[in-house]
Structure 1
Amino acid sequence: MEKDILEILEFDKIREKLADLSPSTLSKERALHLTPSYVPEVVEKSLEETDEASVLLEKEITTPLGETYDIRPLLKKAEKDSTLSAREFLDLANSLDTYKKMHHYFEGEKHLMYPVLEELSALIVPQDSLIDRIHRVFDDHGEVKDSASLKLSRIRTQKETVKSRIRRSFQHILQDKDMAPYLQDAIITQRNGRYVVPVKEEYRYKFSGIVHDRSSTGQTLFMEPMVSVELNNDLAEMTAAEKQEIQEILRDLTEEVKKTVEVTRNNCHLATELEFIFARARLALSMKAVKAVRSKGQVLDLRKARHPLIPEDKVVPVSMTLGKTFNILIITGSNAGGKTIAIKTAGLLSLMNQSGLFIPAADGSSLPVYDHIYAIIGDEQSIQDNLSTFSSYITQLVSFLPTVGEKDLVLLDELGSGTDPVEGAALAQSVTEYLQMKGAPAIITSHFSEMKKLAYETRGIQNAFVEFDEKTLAPTYRLIIGVAGNSNAFNICRRFGMPDVILGRAIQLKNESPLHNMDEVMERLNRQSREIAKEKEETMKTLTQAEQLKNQLESARDEFYQRKDSILEKAREEAESMKRDLRVQSESIIKDLKKSASALSREKLGDKISEVRGRVNGIAVPGKENRRDPLPKEDIKKGTWVYIDTIESEGSIVSVSRNQVTVRCGLIQVKVTPDHLFKAVKPKKETFKNPYAHKKAPMTRSVTAVHTELNIIGKTVDEAIPEVDRFLNECFMAGVSPVRIIHGKGTGSLRRGVQDYLRTLNFVTEFHEADPANGGAGVTEVYF
């Protein structure tokens, strides 16, 4: 993108808005140097980043942002072996802490919600060692801690001891009544790093000490008592040693920074990029902007687009298309009616989109990625080069016309103006035809009637006009595509008080013009267009109401089905409970029957018991309503993916034999009649893996509604039996055998209760403890 295009379309002001929303010096710098990209993949990724950041700002309580600084100068300083200052180390530590926060922010579920941002943050390398080292050396105020080194700790301890001795010696002087007349004040202060007392000037020779300073009036001398000179000397030496040790600590720490300078610099770059992404997101939210849909082909479709630099309460949204049925749009209409704003909006929004920014427009707006955007807008007269307005315009025009192509966008304001109207109109037509021949998308503003006529007569070129309200004699700034407009020059002159005599003569001359009929046609088409627009608006209102009614009906239907399912589910659970209670009662009766029916033969007794159990198990329980379409007979063939209502599972038909169909559901095969087969919701190709392909195959596999094992560890016998009963019924109906009941070892009471219950079930042929490798006494395997 050429630099002058960014200036012409005022993209620099968008950069400034973006910089104001950027949190750090580096991200502000990044914003002010933002340039659009012409690579579709780069543009799409940038828009995805902005999209995720916008969602995060609206949904999350916290963000990955924090306190960062421009650490580039201090990194260069470290590379040159210049010792860093305490302030620089603190800025570095705060920045490194934020980089670490950014790296860890998207861990957990957030990496699924924000994959693009997580991919960027994952590249940041946490520098825990360097962070800890800096924090061990400095406190929150930037002072070097005593614990920074053993030597520093020892020096400061000794220093405090000396200070304490100095204070005691000074206290003796201050409390000495003989010394009191000599002192200006009974205080201890410092001069040149040495402790002193204020002595009256007239007693300087009576006070034994060294003068280090005097007051501004000269009446007070700050003197160091001779008794504390040695102590002050010791203190000075320790202070010097302290400074030397601190300097050594800072040099060592600077060396640590130097070792990781490349990692730190890369982290700084990545963190700046994240900050810049969130600045783009904040700009999108502040503008109520949307992500433009990536256009298929070179279609520009802006819906209710707003110029981002015009206040929201003053801007009039415009809608325009380009690249669907026409590649060139010619906008006509009155002066100050919004023609230039319309083409600037199209150009600026295209630049924003290709910079990873959202655009202030309605949802559904789409933009292509242009290779170049060429624009000639406004008075570009070059005084320095001694060029007129027209000459400057032509100079810019010829700079790109030879190379313009199908993937470029051309914006031309008042093409052909600034010269003889006849020659200008001819030139404007010729340039327009050339752009159409090259297939270059273009939006052109013009006042020439010849250009309106060209658009009406030429396929691929379309008229548009900015509406003018003839009642108020003012533009509405609405852009209407499909119809050409007129300049409304006379109406504007009347509005601004042009004398009637002049206007009358101008209208007379206009009526004598051979193109007068064209203006009448324009006016008639404008009226028709307004009528059509009004009818369209009413139609859209009707469609909206119909859509709302449809949504209400669908919601009511869904609510009805939910209530129906809830009632059926409750009834099914109650029926299951009744059936379970009945089975328990029947088994009790059967036990009594066994005890009292010793006279009956064993065979007859067994048949009678089987009959009673069969009748209990045969009690029908209402199931969930199946709303799937029946499977056509021609689809009942091997390989078809089907739904089985009896087990509420999907599977693939393995074989068909007369009135019986074998279906594989995961690891099991089920045989059912065709009337239990229905169309699957989402047909798919079954992928079957050999469960024995690995050395340690998992003990359990599941299909949609049937499991092959039940875990009841921690439950009482009374709590476990209903679950065991339901589990065994489902497995028996699905044809699954054997199954496993995991009850654990414990005291053995749960195992005995379950196994006692299994003995009462006639459809259980065998059960026993699992082998030691599969759970031993903690698991019971059941066969049907």
Structure 2
Amino acid sequence: MEERLYRTLEFDKVIHQLLENASSSLGREKIEQLTPTTDVEEARVRQQLTFEGFTVLRLKGSVPFGGIRDIRRGLARAKLGASLSPSELLDIAGTVYGGWRLRRFIESLLEQHELPLLADMAVQIERLQKVEDDILACIDEHGVVMDSASPALSQIRSQIRATEGRIKDRLENIIRSTSYQKMLQESIVTIRGDRYVIPVKQEYRHVFGGMIHDQSASGATLFIEPEAVVQANNQVRELRFKEEREVERILQILTGMVAEHVEVLDHNVKILAEFDFTFAKASYAHRIKAVQPKLNDKGYIKLKKGRHPLIPLQEVVPIDVEIGQTYTSLVITGPNTGGKTVTLKTIGLHALMAASGMHIPAEEDSEMAVFSGVFADIGDEQSIEQSLSTFSGHMTNIIRILGQMDANSLVLLDELGAGTDPTEGAALAMSILDHMYQLKARVIATTHYSELKAFAYNRPQVLNASVEFDVETLRPTYRLLIGVPGRSNAFAIAKRLGLPEVIIEDAKQHVSIEDKNVENMIASLEENRLAAEQDRARTEDIRKEMEKLREQLEQERADFAKEKNHLLQKAEEEAARSVAKARKEADEIISELRKIAQEEQIGIKEHRLIEAKKKLQESVPSFEREKERKKKQTGKETLKVGDEIKVLSIGQKGEIIADLGNQEYQVQLGIIKMNIKADDLMLLKSGKKKEVVPYTRVKMSTETVRPELDLRGYNIEDALQEIDKYLDNAVMSNLHQVSLIHGKGTGVLRIGVHNFLKKHRSVKSFRLGGQGEGGLGATIVELK
């Protein structure tokens, strides 16, 4: 696709916004090279990568890209045998570590979430631990080669420090001497040209001998290296040369090690660039509230509440557009500044973004085609250098488009036929549209010509559309109305502005009967559309109110049943206490009767005593509780695999994982699976429809507990309740170590969590997180 198309549709501005979301120059370079693909499968892979990146950001909020640098120039120099600088080597070590940390970050998510494309990228990052360790063992964080880099360097620097110490001692003795103090400008030791010197007054220059290395601006002060330290300074100079040679030798060794792994490092960099690029797209999608579109190669576009990505959310007016199935061309009419051009650019931008792997700012279930080419003639394209008129500029563009387009192209034409005689312009516009229509390309054109309204009616796959105009406020609403051509509002606007009625009526006499009929038809369509929208809005309000009342009634029924059961349970407990008291008294009486019978030789049959006691036991009242009502199920709400349900007999929530037939289902309750009849299940939330396969073929997987619990934003009381439930589930899932994320903050939540963990039955030990584990913002818990 041509570069100027990106400027015409403002895709270059979208790229500029995308650049702001990159974390490194690696990602920015990938973004600057981004172009839409014409292959639908490649576009799907790009979209899936962005979706997986979006999922990671939704779960974690950010991705660790710290330490990663563009080291390709250093790698190229190492490959050629040039010695790398300490800072270049540090960048390589940081990139090696940063890449490995990113790989571990992605792999930590794979146990709970499916991220196949990111996982495949992460596994390609190699560790290269020795390269990192050897570099960091020789160079500190400031880019200085350390004494420990080699025994020779350590010895040389030790000699330098010792010799410099002797020099300073001799010079200190000179400046402290009373005989020399009057000769010194200041009693200090300083350095000039890597030599230790003292500031001497001009008139005493010959007293000290040695060498003059500098003088003050006035010439009154000379910086002299006394003869007593010249030899020692020479020794320091020689040691410095040795130090430089040893440092260079060390850097050459490290560079050689890098050169041995240059291909692996280069591949790591490419993967890291792809990661940064992917998460930049994901971050941008989150920023503009975009969604992953469905993609096709059939030329079908379906935008639901599509928004222009460069217009602020609070200002943009979403549009609904569908083209490519029942009709292939759309003719949009309406007033200037009504939003026609924005509509064209929105559709064109969505096509380019979708083919580039970027999510589009629209609602779920939007669908975009991947075209073989996107062409646009929008705005004033006249060339000043070629002295072309507006009309000529447009025609030049259209001729170029006609020569390049095919049946799988998207063509966007703004103000087709404008800039010339209206009659000829309209005729030319219709012929151009007819030619593109015959080629079966997807065409969206805007126009002022009323003749094109009739053109759309006479073609089965061409549809009229318009941008809405409010005559009352004399302002456009920017809404796109599909199937309704735009009306001429000239008379209505003139009347609202105060033009005399007699002039307006006279003007109407000059309008042809055909034009009047068309305007009347359009007015009728608009009235019907408004009435339909009002009816639909009222119906929706009634539906929402009925749904609200139904939910309220269900809640009241549930509350009533709960209160009834509570009262019955209370009555049972009260009765049980009374019977227990009576039983105790009866036991005492029976015991006394046995004692009396034994003493007085009175015969009492034991079985009668036992029967009497049994009757007393059975006298405890029992009340039948009202079962929780199932939600009324309609044909669309029948239970299916994936539904969230509640098992009424045990009060436990779960999910249906298999349909066993005969109104029996297998449900997952935590880590437990049970077979439950349908009449013991209450539907809580309908899940996505899943393909139901015979029970014997269903492969079950045990639901696992995540290895971390995020408590940020909780108060202490709620956090402790969440921790208690979470630790129980973790123990049942055989987790030996979990992480509690409480954040740093004021430390109140952390202290409360630690006090709770000290007393918890399932906790063996706990500690604050280390590097890569959240630090002071997380607590690592070891379970029994």
Aligned to 1:416: 417
- SS of the aligned residue for 2:441 comes to coil
Give the aligned residue type for 1:339: K
Asked if the contact 1:410/1:441 (under 8 Å) is kept, the reply is: yes
In 1, Cα distance between equivalents of 2:213 and 2:323: 85
In 2, Cα distance between equivalents of 1:6 and 1:486: 32
Aligned to 1:164: 165
Aligned to 1:397: 398
Does residue 429 (structure 1) correspond to residue 425 (structure 2)? The answer is no
For residues 592-607 of structure 1, the aligned pairs below 5 Å read: none
In 2, Cα distance between equivalents of 1:176 and 1:69: 55
Aligned to 1:516: 516
- Compared CA separation, residues 153 and 306, structure 1 to 2 (3 A): same
1:544: Cα distance to partner? 3.5
Does residue 318 (structure 1) correspond to residue 319 (structure 2)? The answer is yes
Give the aligned residue type for 2:13: K
- Compared CA separation, residues 23 and 386, structure 1 to 2 (3 A): same
1:386: Cα distance to partner? 4.1
1:389: Cα distance to partner? 2.7
1:95-116 CA distance string (max 9 Å, x none) = 2222121111122344542514
Aligned to 2:237: 236
1:322-353 CA distance string (max 9 Å, x none) = 12432221111112211111111111112112
Aligned to 1:95: 95
- Compared CA separation, residues 170 and 677, structure 1 to 2 (3 A): closer
TM-score between the two structures when normalised by the length of structure 1: 0.70
Aligned to 2:81: 81
From the CA coordinates, give the structure whose radius of gyration is larger: 1
For residues 207-606 of structure 1, the aligned pairs below 5 Å read: 207-294=208-295, 297-401=298-402, 404-490=405-491, 504=504, 507-508=507-508, 510-512=510-512, 514-548=514-548
Deviation larger for 380-389 or 151-160: 380-389
In 2, Cα distance between equivalents of 1:52 and 1:559: 43
**Structure 1 gap segments, 5+ residues each:** 570-621, 629-649, 653-675, 690-710, 712-784
1:363: Cα distance to partner? 2.9
Aligned to 1:732: none
- SS of the aligned residue for 2:484 comes to coil
Give the aligned residue type for 2:177: D
Give the aligned residue type for 1:303: K
Asked if the contact 1:332/1:465 (under 8 Å) is kept, the reply is: yes
- Compared CA separation, residues 506 and 301, structure 1 to 2 (3 A): farther
1:513: Cα distance to partner? 6.2
In 1, Cα distance between equivalents of 2:168 and 2:365: 79
Give the aligned residue type for 1:365: S
1:134-167 CA distance string (max 9 Å, x none) = 2111111111111111110111111111122222
- Compared CA separation, residues 316 and 677, structure 1 to 2 (3 A): closer
For residues 51-200 of structure 1, the aligned pairs below 5 Å read: 51-60=51-60, 62-110=62-110, 112-113=112-113, 115-116=115-116, 118-119=118-119, 120-200=121-201
Aligned to 1:46: 46
1:195-234 CA distance string (max 9 Å, x none) = 1111111111122322222222111121222222221121
Asked if the contact 1:335/1:487 (under 8 Å) is kept, the reply is: no
In 2, Cα distance between equivalents of 1:44 and 1:552: 44
1:274: Cα distance to partner? 1.3
- SS of the aligned residue for 1:511 comes to coil
- SS of the aligned residue for 2:19 comes to helix
- Compared CA separation, residues 432 and 62, structure 1 to 2 (3 A): closer
Deviation larger for 467-476 or 427-436: 427-436
In 1, Cα distance between equivalents of 2:104 and 2:321: 44
Deviation larger for 192-201 or 103-112: 103-112
In 2, Cα distance between equivalents of 1:231 and 1:368: 80
In 2, Cα distance between equivalents of 1:493 and 1:258: 79
Give the aligned residue type for 1:352: M
1:64: Cα distance to partner? 2.7
Asked if the contact 1:111/1:118 (under 8 Å) is kept, the reply is: no
- Compared CA separation, residues 512 and 463, structure 1 to 2 (3 A): closer
1:240: Cα distance to partner? 0.9
1:505: Cα distance to partner? 9.2
In 2, Cα distance between equivalents of 1:238 and 1:563: 92
1:449: Cα distance to partner? 2.0
Does residue 31 (structure 1) correspond to residue 66 (structure 2)? The answer is no
- Compared CA separation, residues 44 and 197, structure 1 to 2 (3 A): same
In 1, Cα distance between equivalents of 2:250 and 2:415: 70
- Compared CA separation, residues 260 and 503, structure 1 to 2 (3 A): farther
In 2, Cα distance between equivalents of 1:103 and 1:568: 59
- SS of the aligned residue for 1:310 comes to coil
Asked if the contact 2:96/2:132 (under 8 Å) is kept, the reply is: yes
- Compared CA separation, residues 202 and 535, structure 1 to 2 (3 A): same
> How many pairs were matched up?
654
In 2, Cα distance between equivalents of 1:95 and 1:360: 34
- SS of the aligned residue for 2:207 comes to coil
In 1, Cα distance between equivalents of 2:26 and 2:264: 17
Give the aligned residue type for 1:318: I
Asked if the contact 1:490/1:503 (under 8 Å) is kept, the reply is: no
Give the aligned residue type for 1:532: A
In 2, Cα distance between equivalents of 1:235 and 1:247: 18
Give the aligned residue type for 1:268: V
In 2, Cα distance between equivalents of 1:137 and 1:560: 75
1:5-46 CA distance string (max 9 Å, x none) = 222101000001111222222222222332112222222222
Give the aligned residue type for 1:49: L
In 1, Cα distance between equivalents of 2:24 and 2:552: 49
In 2, Cα distance between equivalents of 1:25 and 1:482: 48
- SS of the aligned residue for 2:537 comes to helix
- Compared CA separation, residues 350 and 247, structure 1 to 2 (3 A): same
Give the aligned residue type for 2:57: L
- Compared CA separation, residues 38 and 231, structure 1 to 2 (3 A): same
1:709-735 CA distance string (max 9 Å, x none) = xx9xxxxxxxxxxxxxxxxxxxxxxxx
In 1, Cα distance between equivalents of 2:329 and 2:17: 32
In 2, Cα distance between equivalents of 1:651 and 1:377: 54
1:473-501 CA distance string (max 9 Å, x none) = 2211111112111243455667889x869
Asked if the contact 1:485/1:526 (under 8 Å) is kept, the reply is: no
Aligned to 1:587: none
- SS of the aligned residue for 2:179 comes to coil
In 1, Cα distance between equivalents of 2:13 and 2:493: 32
Deviation larger for 404-413 or 215-224: 404-413
Asked if the contact 1:292/1:365 (under 8 Å) is kept, the reply is: yes
1:151-190 CA distance string (max 9 Å, x none) = 1011111111112222222222223222223222221111
Give the aligned residue type for 1:527: E
Give the aligned residue type for 1:319: D
In 2, Cα distance between equivalents of 1:171 and 1:651: 87
What's the Cα RMSD here? 5.3
1:423-465 CA distance string (max 9 Å, x none) = 3222322333333333222211122222211222332221111
Asked if the contact 2:40/2:297 (under 8 Å) is kept, the reply is: no
In 1, Cα distance between equivalents of 2:125 and 2:210: 62
1:280: Cα distance to partner? 1.5
- Compared CA separation, residues 55 and 109, structure 1 to 2 (3 A): closer
In 2, Cα distance between equivalents of 1:370 and 1:283: 23
In 1, Cα distance between equivalents of 2:453 and 2:554: 49
In 1, Cα distance between equivalents of 2:284 and 2:343: 22
In 2, Cα distance between equivalents of 1:177 and 1:312: 80
Give the aligned residue type for 1:83: S
- SS of the aligned residue for 2:542 comes to helix
In 1, Cα distance between equivalents of 2:539 and 2:17: 40
TM-score between the two structures when normalised by the length of structure 2: 0.70
- Compared CA separation, residues 563 and 20, structure 1 to 2 (3 A): farther
Asked if the contact 2:495/2:504 (under 8 Å) is kept, the reply is: no
